[in-house]
Structure 1
Amino acid sequence: MQPSRIAVAGASGLIGSALVTSLTADGHEVVRLVRRVPRGEGEVRWDPEGGTVDAAGLAGCDVVVNLAGAGVGDRRWTEAYKARIRSSRVHGTAALAKAVASLDVPPRVFVNGSAMGYYGETGDRVVDESAPPGEGFLPEVCVEWEGAAAPAQEAGVRTVFTRTGLVVARGGGAWGRLFPLFRAGLGGRLGDGRQYWSFIALHDEVAAIRYLIDTDGLSGPFNLTAPTPLTNREITEAMGRVLHRPTVFAVPAPVLRTVLGDMAGDVLGSQRVVPKRLLEAGFTFAFPEIEGALRAAV
């Protein structure tokens, strides 16, 4: 891909910062969407929860990537925080999609973040992108989140939804909290450990986003998860092997529900999600197995 002007919302987050580093290393001009007053030409003002964006700042962008949204695992899910999780995604996506559609020369591709939470509880059942949405808070948010991108699609912009799994990285997300516990020898399975966790190495997450940007003809939902989802028990054992620490502790389900509230359902729930469309499109994972993903992170 020739050097391009690429706008990124959520550029300071775990995935966004890694993506920006990758893009700038390859000579692309990155425009960051910020909530404060811009400090230069490389920044554009927006308010995702208020649903506003300076559309003029997106002029000349070949690609717009939206990875913004209040962190799902950042705090206990109160009703107020659940409302923020929803509004930061739905209103922000709608604002960007409308801005993209309003440009005289729109970008050739709009990549909008989503999550494997779209599928809800799947148990042992393997699901790909053809599966319908599940039931509950996160599936409802994901459906609205993706639906908010309609203005960009209707304007003829190639639109991609990245339904991301649990990103294996030290800097944030689920593993940002797990690594310190396991290093201290306090790691263990969550609940009975039989629930499936669909993971992806941060390296592969960024590589997959760039592949979707660069490959013409790809649109719609893509699961960004490694091809081999594992149970929480299997991942716990792999963490112990990689970090050379015992994994004898276990956190009972009732304790998780007390500490995490509604979010406990997401931790204890099982999602066996596979990246069927990504593999069919020809993408190759650098870290398809959990031990490789863990070693890359540490």
Structure 2
Amino acid sequence: MKVLISGGSGFLGSAFSQELIERYRTQGKEVMITWLTRDSNKAHPDDINMMTYDELKKSDMSFDVIMNLAGAGIADARWSDERKEQLIASRIKPTQSILSFIERTATKPKLLVSGSAIGWYGTQGDKPLTEHSSFETDFAHRLCEEWESLALKATDYDVPVAIVRTGVVIHPEGGMVAKLLLPFKFGVGGQLGDGQQIMSWISRDDWVGAVIFIIEQYLFSQFGHKQRVSNNDNVIETRSDTPAFVYNLTAPNPVSNHTFTKTLGSWLHRPTLFTLPEFLLKLMFGEMSTLLIDGQKVLPQALSDAGYAFKHVTLKQALEDQK
């Protein structure tokens, strides 16, 4: 299998690459992974190939799967107008480069896996949300929608698309947990606001496992036939007959911020006595505070229907098993 990944060196792309290589080599299968990069001198593992976006423009290579994960972290900085433009551009430009490659290459990839986030659904409190659910319009939705809509144009070139809407990814090496480790270890961790907002999470191991599951279904189980891969609730309508689907990459048991706080504190053997009130979060983070204050209860209906078996169904499992 040959896989091209934008954002391959990131928190998710690097873990996916490592797991795919190890799993396939153990099975005696060949796998070649290439990371798209803007810096040809960027450090990378010896078993990963590197390709710049300029090289992609001229490349005649073929890939079985393209993964489109590149994008600046949505919670890494306050949402100024300039930051919003950066968040959009960091997703749109790599996607445009990939689409240009798909359009001109003679041998089309069998699948495009394109990143997104559960922010697509907007703020909807504790209402259960599946792939069939509608959305509320806010900046997070508009960002995800623009990214998804562009990626879906790959179906114009007969390339199936799987959109993966990712929740809060749990692993000590990165994401939210890594940012919280220091304050929690010092005993100053605590809940946000009233703590009742729902957090839809997934362990990094399950994120990687779910993406590999989706890819293998497409490549090895004739996943292009709608009746074999999906209930109709996660089918995305496109301008062509080429299939496109969406998957919520979340664990089946979302938790409240209060539960998350207590579970993380227990795992670290630290008290969680502090509370950051809502007004202070809004003052500190502005519009971006919606990510902390407003919950989303997003469920992995399509993955469950397709038969994916989660390794970590509780937050406690995810924290304890992933070292």
TM range (shorter): over 0.9
User: Counterpart in 1 of 2:127?
Assistant: 125
Q: Which amino acid aligns with 1:232?
A: N
Deviation at 1:239, TM superposition (A): 1.3
Gap regions ≥5 residues in structure 1: 47-51
Tell me the TM-score normalised to structure 2 length.
Answer: 0.85
Deviation at 1:58, TM superposition (A): 6.5
Q: Does 1:84 align with 2:109?
A: no
User: Counterpart in 2 of 1:237?
Assistant: 262
Q: Which amino acid aligns with 1:228?
A: N
Percent identical pairs in the alignment equals: 32
Deviation at 1:267, TM superposition (A): 1.1
Instruction: Return the alpha-carbon distance in structure 2 between the equivalents of residues 56 and 289 of structure 1.
Output: 46
Q: Secondary structure at the match of 1:177?
A: helix
Q: Does 1:68 align with 2:70?
A: yes
Equivalent residue pairs, number: 290
Q: Does 1:37 align with 2:40?
A: yes
Deviation at 1:199, TM superposition (A): 0.3
Gap change, CA 1:18 and 1:214, over 3 Å in 2: same
User: Counterpart in 2 of 1:49?
Assistant: none
User: Counterpart in 1 of 2:186?
Assistant: 184
Gap change, CA 1:53 and 1:121, over 3 Å in 2: farther
Q: Secondary structure at the match of 1:163?
A: strand
Q: Secondary structure at the match of 2:59?
A: helix
CA offset digits 1:166-186 (Å, max 9, x no partner): 000122221221122222211
Gap change, CA 1:57 and 1:288, over 3 Å in 2: farther
Gap regions ≥5 residues in structure 2: 26-30, 224-228, 230-243
- Paired residues of 2:11 and 2:175 also in contact (CA < 8 A): yes
Q: Superposition pairs for residues 43-62 of structure 1, below 5 Å?
A: 43-46=50-53, 54-57=56-59, 59-62=61-64
2:99 to 97, 100, 103: 97
- Paired residues of 1:237 and 1:247 also in contact (CA < 8 A): yes
Q: Does 1:151 align with 2:153?
A: yes
Deviation at 1:69, TM superposition (A): 0.1
Tell me the TM-score normalised to structure 1 length.
Answer: 0.92
Instruction: Return the alpha-carbon distance in structure 2 between the equivalents of residues 177 and 229 of structure 1.
Output: 20
- Paired residues of 1:10 and 1:68 also in contact (CA < 8 A): yes
Instruction: Return the alpha-carbon distance in structure 1 between the equivalents of residues 245 and 57 of structure 2.
Output: 23
Gap change, CA 1:13 and 1:137, over 3 Å in 2: same
Superposed CA RMSD in Å reads 1.8
Instruction: Return the alpha-carbon distance in structure 1 between the equivalents of residues 170 and 317 of structure 2.
Output: 10
Deviation at 1:23, TM superposition (A): 1.9
Q: Does 1:135 align with 2:137?
A: yes
Q: Secondary structure at the match of 2:40?
A: coil
Instruction: Return the alpha-carbon distance in structure 2 between the equivalents of residues 171 and 21 of structure 1.
Output: 15
